[in-house]
């Protein structure tokens, strides 16, 4: 899901903006609280997919970033289309400014390729960062987490493994890993994702770490359960981590989409531990949004999220205030 950076990272500079580089100057004793600060602006809608268009289709988990030419890009997983298999594909939009309404649709950007080891119609939740002079996209292929790269932040090519396939890694404890999100703190990359296999599973946020985006460590469970988030298989969707001040980490994880959208926010001073059934120590607040991403631009913070109708994507200002 988007470009990110911590205050200690040096490799993620963007043309005019840096995503997720917060400038809170001092470490708060108590966790800060993220609050939607202003009206919403719709940036993307229900796309025309040509022969793959369906009345039931919904733009869901997405990634937003700034391309090399300064334009803003958003790619969304469109589910319930007429695509084969799992009925999902990636569609893109482009905007001149982050806060402009009605970005220009750019068409279908990626479809699953079974010949490369991707599940038919199984593409999910793209997320883009910059590293070593390239744009790097992490995305789900239903069974695995995969990677694609780009020079300009617009056209991406899959990065294949030693077997000539797209998968980078898959879940260890649970299958169907998805919603990858990359975060850098003190030179260490963290790849957060969620997974589940059936109705009896409890949704969990997992994480793997890397120094180079090539070699990855073991899978860690970093969050699960909790009174506010619940213990359903969808209680840890769309994980997203930010560091508004050094050593202060916040995990956003979604429980519900649509009109009753809900995302719970958890705080920790350890990016690998946001609490397992431990709201007392980690829970911060609840936001009425789904699949949020956070952008820092020109001294302002923005929250990008799904429309309640699940027919588009919207953006609003975000502020961090003291007190739970």
Domain residue extents for the chain: 33-321
Tens of pLDDT, residues 286-322: 999 999 999 989 988 999 999 999 999 999 999 999 9
Q: How many CA atoms lie within 13 A of 201 on its CB side?
A: 15
Average pLDDT over residues 32-36: 97
Res 324: pLDDT: 60
Instruction: Summarize pLDDT for 131-171 with one digit per residue, the tens.
Output: 999 999 999 999 999 999 999 999 999 999 999 999 999 99
Distance CA 107, CA 282 (A): 40
Q: Check residue 318 and report its DSSP letter.
A: E
Residue 14 has pLDDT above 50, yes or no: no
User: Residue 46's Cα: distance from chain center in Å?
Assistant: 19
For the entire predicted model, the pTM comes to 0.90
Q: What's residue 197's pLDDT?
A: 72
Distance CA 114, CA 135 (A): 24
Residues 290/254, Cβ–Cβ less than 8 Å:
yes
41 exposed, middle or buried (CB, 10 Å; 0-12, 13-18, 19+)?
Answer: middle
Reply yes or no on whether the pLDDT at 3 is more than 70: no
Q: What is the pLDDT of residue 85?
A: 98
Share the mean pLDDT of the chain: 91
The average pLDDT across 213-221 equals 96
**How far is it, in rounded angstroms, from Cα 71 to Cα 25?**
29
d(CA 89, CA 233): 23
Give the CA diameter of the chain. 55
116 vs 199, more confident: 116
CA contacts within 13 A on the Cβ side of 205? 34
Look at residue 185 and tell me whether its pLDDT is greater than 50: yes
Is 11 within 8 Å of 130 (Cβ atoms)?
A: yes
Tell me which residue of 107, 138, 106 sits closest to 123, measured CA to CA.
138
**CATH topology for the 33-321 domain:** Tachylectin-2; Chain A (2.115.10)
Using CB atoms within 10 Å of the CB of residue 220, give its burial: 0 to 12 exposed, 13 to 18 middle, 19+ buried.
middle
Average pLDDT estimate for 39-50: 98
- Summarize pLDDT for 52-104 with one digit per residue, the tens: 999 999 999 999 999 999 999 999 999 999 999 999 999 999 999 999 999 99
């Amino acid at each position: 899901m988007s470009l990110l950076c911590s205050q200690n990272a040096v490799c993620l500079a963007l043309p005019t903006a840096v995503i997720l580089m917060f400038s809170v100057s001092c470490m708060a004793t108590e966790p800060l609280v993220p609050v939607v600060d202003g009206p919403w602006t719709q940036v993307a809608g229900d796309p025309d997919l040509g022969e793959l268009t369906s009345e039931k289709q919904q733009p869901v988990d997405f990634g937003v970033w700034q391309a090399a030419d300064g334009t803003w890009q958003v790619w969304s997983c469109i589910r319930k289309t007429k695509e084969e298999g799992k009925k999902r594909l990636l569609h893109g939009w482009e905007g001149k400014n982050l806060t402009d309404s009605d970005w220009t649709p750019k068409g279908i950007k990626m479809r699953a390729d079974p010949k490369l080891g991707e599940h038919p119609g199984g593409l999910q939740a793209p997320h883009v960062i910059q590293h070593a002079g390239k744009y790097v996209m992490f995305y789900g292929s239903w069974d695995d987490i995969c990677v694609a790269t780009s020079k300009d932040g617009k056209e991406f090519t899959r990065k294949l493994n030693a077997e000539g396939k797209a998968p980078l890694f898959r879940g260890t404890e649970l299958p169907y890993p998805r919603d990858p999100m990359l975060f850098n703190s003190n030179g260490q990359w963290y790849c957060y994702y969620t997974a589940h296999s059936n109705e009896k599973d409890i949704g969990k946020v997992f994480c793997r770490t890397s120094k180079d985006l090539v070699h990855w460590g073991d899978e860690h469970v970093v969050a699960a359960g909790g009174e506010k988030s619940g213990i359903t298989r969808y209680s840890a969707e769309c994980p997203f981590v930010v560091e508004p001040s050094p050593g202060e980490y916040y995990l956003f994880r979604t429980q519900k989409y649509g009109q009753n959208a809900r995302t719970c926010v958890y705080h920790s001073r350890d990016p690998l531990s946001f609490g397992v059934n431990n709201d007392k120590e980690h829970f911060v607040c609840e936001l009425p949004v789904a699949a949020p991403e956070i952008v820092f631009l020109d001294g302002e913070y923005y929250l990008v999220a799904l429309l309640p109708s699940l027919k588009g994507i919207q953006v609003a200002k975000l502020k961090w205030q003291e007190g739970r």
